């Protein structure tokens, strides 16, 4: 993953991160959460391209659990959709090798 590309991604989407003074200092968990909750399909696909689907899925799964440490604000529909999406795309990726 290229940190420069992630910073550029954040810079182009400051409106996702309206609640923080300096979005460039956000953790990857917050960037994934905001993108999956508020981004459009192109935003999600660009984030996956930058970070890799395995990393985005891992962050999403760790943070979207009800028992996860810290707070998370994944919308119920977002959690359902991306659980299905990552299950499908990661199983397909493993089976293609």
pLDDT digits (tens, 9 = 90+) for 47-95: 999 999 999 999 999 988 865 556 678 889 999 999 999 999 887 665 5
- Find, among 30, 21, 24, the residue nearest to 6 by Cα: 24
pLDDT recorded at residue 33: 93
Distance CA 48, CA 57 (A): 9
> What does the pLDDT read at residue 88?
93
Q: In this model, does residue 23 exceed pLDDT 90?
A: no
Q: The whole model's pTM is what?
A: 0.83
Which of the 8 DSSP states describes residue 66? T
* Chain mean pLDDT for the chain: 86
pLDDT number for residue 37: 93
Containing structural domain, residue 35: 3-95
Q: How many folded domains does the chain comprise? A: 1
Distance CA 86, CA 65 (A): 15
């Amino acid at each position: 993953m290229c940190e420069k590309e992630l910073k550029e991604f954040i810079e182009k989407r400051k409106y996702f991160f309206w609640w923080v003074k300096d979005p460039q200092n956000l953790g990857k968990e917050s960037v994934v959460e905001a993108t999956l909750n508020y981004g459009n399909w192109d935003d999600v696909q660009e984030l996956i391209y930058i970070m890799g689907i395995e990393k985005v899925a891992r962050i999403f799964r760790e943070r979207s659990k009800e028992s996860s440490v810290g707070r998370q604000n994944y919308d119920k529909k977002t959690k359902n959709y991306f659980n299905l999406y990552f299950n499908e795309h990661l199983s397909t990726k493993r089976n293609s090798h």
